[in-house]
């Protein structure tokens, strides 16, 4: 049998691609020949996506990798993670975020398929560490701060002070700028709360607990640090002239005890550099935003203007995804308690309490071709107004989890909206998914399975005016 070093490169590559991460690491350590022969596979498998957080060694590692002649060009996606260290006084009163079971399963699947950077032992350690940071806290009533029982306070304070010094001296901006200059093939950026970020496990072992994973408006320092992280990232992008095509902001989604980003955090603080900054390469923007704001007095108009200020940085934007977590509905803007409505409250008054109605009248994206909107309450007129403002360019419309709150007897409703789209747009794709109507709540529910191309997911789809006609007839039949 021929030694693996003597096999044709095609066969060697076939074998290497099917090795687990642990086996590939062992193989690369056997000799220089195999180390060099497997470099391409290794870099493609482990460096296509990199994750970084607001921590000196994590940022420094990213900058060094980005400047590497071989590894830097392999990075196509970068995730900026919101993990951060809070001061001890806030740490002791903030309930830590906890992850849903679907993430646990997904993470295990990533590891089993070799897409993650972890080893078996490390996976078990991180799962244990995750429990000490969140889930176990619910089952231990005897300890005031059960999630902090393994905290190494001395090491934690040292790490926190280093984080503060890093920011004070502008090291975060310096490292990110170096990285963005070297990531010549990185076109996809995510702002996320992924717990697989490089350096997180080492930090956890040093301080005894996992850092604060997500943004929370209940901790002023959390707001300050995440705002700084966003500012550092956008400053680095502006200074490096990076060619990013897609930006996704989704931190805090599907995580308990956490907030999503609000527009004021994306737009502020600004600077002379960011005021004039325009990223002409970016064409796709996905936003999962919080309808609340760390600013208690943030009104719908302020919320909207902050978002417009942010979106205006991307003049070539052609695809927008905008969703709210958890929903944009008639609730108080800060503490999420239901608004006490008077007996003569009209559904049209929801504009006072929600974000989209104001946004629909002010946000205009000149080159918008694809829009994905979801998870909010509005009138059918609100939504029609937003779509018609983009009539000249819009071709692909995806609506999910939208609730119409039209006043009874007024013009509107889902059949009317689809008629407007049929008569006003040359669509290539139209999707309604899990939407409903406040007055006719059963019009789009699971009982109306005969309406749907996909009954389980409650989806109506069309690719032309003929398909829209069919949807209109189905909806009208259901109303009757």
Same-domain pairing of 130 and 16: no
- Examine the domain organization and report whether 53 and 164 are in the same domain: yes
Kindly state whether residue 175 falls inside one of the protein's structural domains: yes
Does residue 456 sit within a domain? no
Residue 87 and residue 34 share a domain: no
In this structure, the answer to whether residues 268 and 313 fall within a common structural domain is yes
Token pair in block for residue 73: 């060009």
The residue among 292, 317, 342 that closes a domain is 317
What is residue 449's predicted lDDT score, i.e. its pLDDT? 52
Do both 57 and 32 map to the same domain?
no
**115: Cα within 13 Å, side-chain hemisphere:** 7
**Number of helices and strands in the chain (H, E):** 19, 11
* Listed residues 317, 341, 363: the one ending a domain: 317
CATH value at residue 10:
1.20.1280
**Please, which residues have CB within 8 angstroms of residue 243's CB and are 6 or more apart in sequence?**
184, 187, 281
In terms of domains, do 17 and 122 share one?
A: no
- Separation between Cα atoms, residue 95 and residue 98, nearest integer Å: 9
Kindly give the confidence (pLDDT) of every residue in the chain, 480 residues in length, as a single tens digit, with 9 standing for 90 and above: 567 777 777 777 777 778 887 887 788 888 887 777 777 777 877 899 999 999 999 999 999 999 999 899 999 999 999 999 999 999 999 988 876 545 555 555 555 555 554 433 433 444 444 444 443 334 343 356 888 999 999 999 999 999 999 999 999 999 999 999 999 999 999 999 988 899 999 999 999 999 999 999 999 999 999 999 999 999 999 999 999 999 999 998 878 889 999 999 999 999 999 999 999 999 999 999 998 888 756 678 889 999 999 999 999 999 999 999 878 876 544 444 444 444 444 544 555 568 999 999 999 999 999 999 999 999 999 999 999 999 999 999 999 999 998 887 777 899 999 999 999 999 999 999 988 887 666 555 544 455 555 556 678 999 999 999 999 998 887 666
Residue 325 lies in a domain: no
Element containing residue 145 per DSSP (H, E): none
Distances (CA, A) of 206 to 59, 149, 200, 425: 18, 14, 10, 58
- Kindly state the helix (H) or strand (E) to which residue 386 belongs, with its residue range: helix 380-388
Give a yes or no: residue 401 inside a domain. no
Strands 319-328 and 246-249: unpaired
Residue 147 lies in a domain: yes
32/62 same-domain check: no
**What whole-number distance in Å separates Cα of residue 148 and Cα of residue 36?**
45
- Which residue from 183, 260, 272 is spatially nearest to 235, judged by alpha carbons? 272
Helix (H) or strand (E) holding 227: helix 220-240
Domain match, 295 and 150 both: yes
266 within some domain: yes
CA proximity to 318, closest of 362, 265, 281? 281
Residue 212 near residue 85, CB atoms below 8 Å: yes
Beta-strand ranges (E) seen in 61-193 are 77-81, 188-192
The pLDDT, as a whole number, for residue 395 is 98
Q: Using an 8 Å Cβ cutoff, are 396 and 428 in contact?
A: yes
| Closest C-alpha among 314, 286, 318, 311 to residue 393 | 318
Threshold 0.75, pTM exceeds: yes
Is residue 291 included in any domain, yes or no? yes
pLDDT at 173: 98
What's 188's DSSP letter?
E
Number of domains making up the chain: 2
**Contact (Cβ atoms closer than 8 angstroms) between residue 104 and residue 233:** no
Residue 77 tokens, joined = 């996606």
Give me the domain span that covers residue 113: 49-317
Residue 440, domain member (yes or no) = no
Question: Are 10 and 113 part of one and the same domain?
Answer: no
Would you state the structure tokens that stand for residue 342, as one six-digit string? 């008077």
Q: Do residues 106 and 201 share a domain?
A: yes
Pairing outcome for strands 284-289 and 429-433: unpaired
| DSSP 8-state assignment for residue 161 | H
* Spatial separation of the C-alpha atoms in residues 159 and 252, rounded to whole Å: 23
- 468 vs 454: CA distance, rounded Å: 16
Looking at the structure, do residues 55 and 19 belong to the same domain, yes or no?
no
Domain boundary (284, 317, 350) is at 317
Concatenated DSSP letters of 35-76: HHHTHHHHHHHHSSEEEE-SSHHHHHHHHHHHTSTTTGGG--
Alpha-carbon gap, residue 453 to 455, rounded angstroms: 6
Shared-domain flag, residues 103 and 11: no
């Amino acid at each position: 049998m021929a030694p693996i070093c003597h096999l044709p490169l095609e066969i060697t590559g076939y074998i290497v691609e099917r090795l687990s991460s642990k086996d590939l690491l062992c193989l690369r350590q056997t000799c220089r020949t195999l180390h060099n022969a497997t470099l391409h596979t290794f870099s493609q498998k482990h460096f296509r996506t990199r994750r970084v957080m607001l921590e000196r060694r994590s940022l420094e590692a990213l900058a060094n990798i980005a400047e590497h002649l071989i590894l830097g060009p392999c990075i196509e996606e970068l995730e900026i993670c919101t993990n951060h260290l809070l001061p001890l006084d806030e740490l002791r009163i903030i309930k830590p975020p906890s992850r849903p079971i679907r993430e646990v399963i997904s993470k295990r699947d990533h590891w089993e398929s070799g897409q993650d950077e972890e080893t078996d032992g490390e996976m078990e350690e991180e799962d244990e560490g995750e429990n000490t940071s969140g889930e176990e806290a619910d089952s231990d009533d005897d300890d005031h701060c059960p999630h902090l029982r393994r905290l190494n306070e001395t090491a934690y304070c040292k790490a926190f002070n280093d984080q503060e010094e890093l920011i004070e001296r502008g090291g975060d901006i310096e490292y990110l700028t170096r990285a963005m200059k070297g990531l010549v093939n990185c076109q996809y950026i995510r702002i996320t709360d992924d717990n697989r970020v490089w350096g997180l496990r080492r930090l956890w072992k040093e301080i005894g607990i996992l850092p604060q994973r997500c943004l929370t408006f209940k901790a002023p320092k959390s707001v300050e640090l995440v705002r700084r992280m966003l500012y550092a990232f956008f400053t680095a992008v502006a200074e490096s002239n990076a060619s990013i095509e897609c930006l996704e902001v989704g931190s805090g989604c599907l995580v308990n005890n956490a907030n999503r980003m609000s527009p004021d955090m994306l737009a502020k603080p600004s600077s002379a550099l960011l005021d004039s900054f325009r990223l002409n390469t970016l064409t796709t923007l996905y936003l999962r935003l919080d309808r609340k704001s760390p600013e208690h007095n943030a009104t719908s108009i302020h919320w909207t203007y902050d978002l417009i200020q942010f979106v205006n940085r991307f003049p070539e934007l052609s695809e927008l995804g905008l969703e709210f977590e958890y929903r944009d509905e008639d609730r108080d803007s800060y503490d999420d308690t239901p608004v006490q409505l008077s007996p003569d409250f009209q559904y049209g008054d929801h504009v006072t309490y929600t974000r989209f109605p104001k946004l629909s009248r002010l946000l205009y994206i000149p080159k918008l071709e694809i829009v994905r909107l979801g998870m909010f309450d509005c009138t059918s007129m609100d939504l029609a107004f937003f779509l018609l403002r983009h009539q000249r360019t819009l071709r692909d419309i995806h609506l999910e989890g939208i609730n119409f709150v039209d006043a009874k007897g007024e013009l509107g409703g889902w059949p009317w909206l689809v008629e407007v789209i049929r008569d006003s747009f040359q669509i290539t794709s139209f999707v309604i998914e899990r939407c409903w109507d406040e007055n006719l709540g059963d019009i789009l529910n699971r009982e109306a399975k005969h309406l749907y191309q996909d009954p389980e997911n409650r989806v109506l789809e069309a690719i032309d005016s003929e398909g829209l006609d069919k949807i209109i007839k189905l909806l009208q039949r259901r109303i009757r």
